[in-house]
Amino acid sequence: MFFFFLALFCISLVLLGNLVAPFTAVIVLGVVITNVFRPVFLLFTKKLSFRMASLLTCAIIFFVVFIPVVFFVGILSKEALDLYNLARDAVFSNQLIQVLENTRALDRLNDLLARAGIQKTVSWQELLSPVSELGKMVGFSLFQQARFITSNLLNLVFYFCLMIIVIFYMLMDGKKLIQYLYDLSPLQDEHDKQLFQKFNEMAGAVLIGNGLGGVIQGTAGGLLFLFLGLNSPFLWGVIMGFMAFLPIVGIGIVLVPTAVFYMLKSSVITGIGILVFYGILSWGIEYIFKPKLVGDRMAMHPLIVFFAIIGGLNVYGLMGIIYGPLIATLFLTLSEIYFSSFQSMVEPAKAKKPTCPVTH
């Protein structure tokens, strides 16, 4: 009888999963944003009913999130198309070739190849063609996605409304739902609470810490490009904002080549200024802003965060920025539960809990 019930229960889970799968991103974003705005909701509950407090919080989310996103996508679409056209017409590559031809770097490279027995002569056009192709690919891809969003504004409004509904009921009944999941889970309540707490901490760290850090770095980088008179400062600011999510490399993937470009143009002071700007901005965000904002929530080694985000982007697209760290958090938290509660049952000889090399 029990196994028949278990089979039916598993089938119902699969069917339920198929029903909600198209709305996974909406649900996850709704839950994450709910946790971010919960302090606002709790502030309102001091003077208002839960329903009115939830409704007012959702209204704030609409003005804080939805309207800036629509404005942001409109500008991004135009600048992405400009980048694509520049890369297609090889404008940037030709400018860079003119700068590089004033150096003797290519002559030295060809001499080195000749000494190695390679008679082929390399040109700057050949070396920089991948840069043009990358620019075309990035610009066209961003333009297509931005155009898709703006041309399907009705879909965007629909999914945003679904997310607002999730947030509305999570604010009011979230505790009841969490308790229901605790009761349904076969794990001990302390393990369920540990999982939920880790998920909350990581979601908050990704969205609040990395999100606001990315906004600050992307805005500062875009303003720097605007000040320097470079093309598409808004677009490059957006790219730097996303790159800021990645530990180790961050916005340096854009600013360091920019500094090198200015140094090759004999604008050494400008190049050094860009590097100083990058160092101060990155150091301030990573070691002052984020620790004060999120504390020790992101208790995960930067290397695993890096690969979690890269892998998440590869598998899940843009939502991988959130999914990747959450999946890594699930694995590491389950590992901690295994070491603390189940390892003695499976491996009695291993009494000491090992130290995980990927957590702080």
Lowest-pLDDT range, 13-22, 138-147, 210-219, 326-335? 138-147
Q: Are 140 and 84 in contact (CB under 8 A)?
A: yes
Contacts of 30 (CB under 8 A, 6+ apart): 162, 163, 164, 166, 167, 170
Q: Is the pLDDT of residue 86 over 70?
A: no
Rounded-to-integer distance, Cα 216 and Cα 149, Å:
24
User: Cα–Cα distance between 230 and 270 in angstroms, integer?
Assistant: 13
Residue 26 has pLDDT above 60, yes or no: yes
Per-residue confidence band for 142, with pLDDT thresholds at 50, 70 and 90: low
**Mean per-residue pLDDT for 112-132?**
58
| CA pseudo-torsion sign 288, 239, 254, 275 | negative
- Please tell me the predicted confidence (pLDDT) of residue 277: 92
Greater model confidence, 96 or 253: 253
pLDDT band at 197 (very low <50, low <70, confident <90, very high): confident
More confident residue, 158 or 153: 158
Q: Is the pLDDT of residue 232 over 60?
A: yes
The whole-number pLDDT of residue 322 equals: 79
Residue 173: predicted pLDDT: 85
What mean pLDDT value characterizes the chain?
Answer: 75
CA distances from 332 to 51, 185, 195, 326 (A): 37, 19, 10, 10
The 10s digit of each residue's pLDDT in 279-303 is 998 888 877 777 776 655 556 677 7
pLDDT of residue 318 exceeding 80, the answer is: no
User: Does 130 or 330 have the greater pLDDT score?
Assistant: 330
pLDDT the model gives residue 127: 52
Give percent of the chain above pLDDT 90: 6
Specify whether the CB–CB gap between 138 and 81 falls below 8 A. Answer: no
What is the arithmetic mean of pLDDT over 135-159? 63
The confidence score (pLDDT) of residue 105 equals 53
Q: Does the pLDDT of residue 133 top 70, yes or no?
A: no
Alpha-helical regions (H) of the chain: 2-20, 24-45, 50-61, 67-88, 91-100, 105-115, 124-151, 153-184, 189-204, 211-228, 233-243, 252-264, 268-284, 290-294, 302-316, 320-337, 343-346
pLDDT tier, 47 (very low <50, low <70, confident <90, very high otherwise)? confident
Q: How far apart are CA 308 and CA 322, in angstroms?
A: 9
To the nearest 10°, the Cα dihedral for 88, 90, 93, 95? -140
Name the residue ranges covered by the structural domains of the chain: 22-171, 185-345
Amino acid (one-letter) located at 218: G
**pLDDT confidence bin for 220, thresholds 50/70/90:** very high
Tally of residues, the chain: 360
pLDDT digits (tens, 9 = 90+) for 320-333: 877 888 888 888 88
Residue 165, pLDDT > 80, answer yes
pLDDT the model gives residue 103: 55
As given in the structure block, the two tokens for residue 209 are 């810490």
Q: How many Cα atoms occupy the beta-carbon half-sphere of 107 within 13 Å?
A: 4
Q: Are 62 and 101 in contact (CB under 8 A)?
A: no
Predicted confidence band of residue 356 (pLDDT cuts 50, 70, 90): low
pLDDT in tens, 55-75: 999 999 888 877 777 776 666
